[in-house]
Amino acid sequence: MQRPDQDPKSHIADLAAFIEGSPSPFHAAAMASERLDRIGFIEIEESTAWPPQPGRYFLRRGGALVAWSTADGADPHAGFRIIGAHTDSPNLRLRPRPDHRSAGMAQLGVEIYGGVLLNSWLDRDLGLSGRVTLIGDGGQTENRLLHVNEPRLRVPQLAIHLDRSVTTDGLRLDPQRHLQPVWSSAQGEVPLFNEWLAQQFEVSSSAIGAWDLMAHDLTPPTRIGVDGSMFASGRLDNLLSCHAGLVALENSCADGFTSVPVLCLFDHEEVGSETASGAAGQLLPATLERICIASGLNRDEWFASLAASICVSADGAHATHPNWPERHEPDHLVLLDGGPVVKWNANARYGTDAPGAAHILALAEQLEIPMQAFVSRNDLPCGSTIGPITAAQLGITTIDIGVAQLSMHSARELTGVVDPARFATLLAAFLNCPTVLGER
């Protein structure tokens, strides 16, 4: 295979910029759409009849995005090559009535979104981002993105002098009481949140309809370690995979396709995926079916196309932790930069099966990309991802793969600097690969 490797150094710099521009799922979808636009992908609306294929297209639904090409030689009769990932990360999300006062301080009330490592959000300078829906004079609504990259919020820790048990019993955080950020120490002069938000958009506060807003850590992504061999950032789970999939689609177009390449960036994976823009909804099945309809396939041909399809569910994998090696399966050491990780689970918490895994492993071997395998211990529960959901929804072979990382679901996670580029190279080859799966 002739594919030039994605350069790790420039890939990490590009990933850092993508993450910094994507503090919320809505921004991740917007970042992806801007890049797709630059290489000739056209955004289409779900609410209108679709243009006849072939072409390069994408659509957005909230914090989700689906992009595909029926151009560049791609034929829906040959099935789909799907990369699935998710745009959301565990975080703190603003309540509908956030204004709160305690001990003389103004605070903003938050809900916990997903499986947050709560301690990781303490004592961090936090910005605010997400989507705000404005209401016009005639009652019409308009969605606007908000990205305030200034330190506006902070969740202060309790001093050790006030809870000595923290050293003996560990830190215990009550999600209702202990994660509420402070907003101001001023007495009386603080604008209500609604008013502050109106100022950001230069509208009257009556124009603020509702919001989907969240906090983000302001520490920029950076390379760390004596040799710069690690990469620390928020939202690596799963913007690293969204970015790798995006780069793969960008890089594979020039080489031409056999099957239809599809990049599907879902929202709401961290809360179970059962939403309109999540993997358990009809976003992907409906999009694939409409691609087939717009390409002139009949319903039987659409099912045949699905049967010829393969999906890579791209999401973070746990590296073996140097301080807690006993939490990992001892015969399945997973290293930072040891290569992309195929994730297995006998109880189908991951979608990987032998024919699918073998297909990817063969591809990696041709590219001389090392691969690793993750499996949980039998005495610890296994995480999950969009893989099994996509496999069940569409009935297609799905392989769960990701880049190894530490501190998953922390406000600041850690990965290696080489594997993100390797993953993008592997995914690009997957999109171009003309080999069909044999017997399933």
User: Is the CB of 85 or the CB of 132 nearer to Zn ion?
Assistant: 85
Kindly state the DSSP code that residue 388 receives in the 8-state scheme.
H
User: Is the CB of 130 or the CB of 402 nearer to Zn ion?
Assistant: 402
| 382's tokens | 């296994």
Residue 267 binds to Zn ion (criterion: CB under 5 A): no
Residue 413 binds to Zn ion (criterion: CB under 5 A): no
Q: Which of 238, 345, 376, 425 binds Zn ion (CB under 5 A)?
A: 238
Residue 88 binds to Zn ion (criterion: CB under 5 A): no
Residue 14 binds to Zn ion (criterion: CB under 5 A): no
Question: Could you give the CA distance from residue 390 to residue 2 in angstroms, rounded to a whole number?
Answer: 31
Task: Name residue 178's amino acid.
Answer: H
User: Is the CB of 76 or the CB of 90 nearer to Zn ion?
Assistant: 90
Q: Which DSSP string do the residues of 264-320 spell out, in sequence order?
A: EEES-GGGTS-STTSTTSSHHHHHHHHHHHHTT--HHHHHHHHHT-EEEEE--EEPP
Residue 419 binds to Zn ion (criterion: CB under 5 A): no
User: Is the CB of 78 or the CB of 348 nearer to Zn ion?
Assistant: 348
Residue 407 binds to Zn ion (criterion: CB under 5 A): no
Least gap, CB of 237 to Zn ion (angstroms): 4
User: Is the CB of 217 or the CB of 237 nearer to Zn ion?
Assistant: 237
User: Is the CB of 55 or the CB of 114 nearer to Zn ion?
Assistant: 114
Question: Could you give the CA distance from residue 122 to residue 178 in angstroms, rounded to a whole number?
Answer: 9
Binding track over 113-152 against Zn ion, x by CB under 5 A: ----------------------------------------
Q: Kindly provide the residue ranges of all beta strands, DSSP E only, lying in 21-140, ordered along the sequence.
A: 42-43, 56-61, 64-69, 80-86, 91-102, 105-113, 126-135
Task: Name residue 52's amino acid.
Answer: P
Binding track over 313-352 against Zn ion, x by CB under 5 A: --x-------------------------------------
Least gap, CB of 238 to Zn ion (angstroms): 4
Q: Which of 237, 267, 413, 419 binds Zn ion (CB under 5 A)?
A: 237
How do strand 341-343 and strand 397-402 relate by DSSP bridges? antiparallel
Question: Could you give the CA distance from residue 398 to residue 385 in angstroms, rounded to a whole number?
Answer: 11
> Nearest to residue 415, comparing CAs of 295, 346, 310, 318?
318
State the burial class of residue 298 (Cβ atoms within 10 Å of its Cβ: 0-12, 13-18, 19+): exposed
User: Is the CB of 87 or the CB of 180 nearer to Zn ion?
Assistant: 87
Give residues in contact with Zn ion (CB under 5 A): 237-238, 315
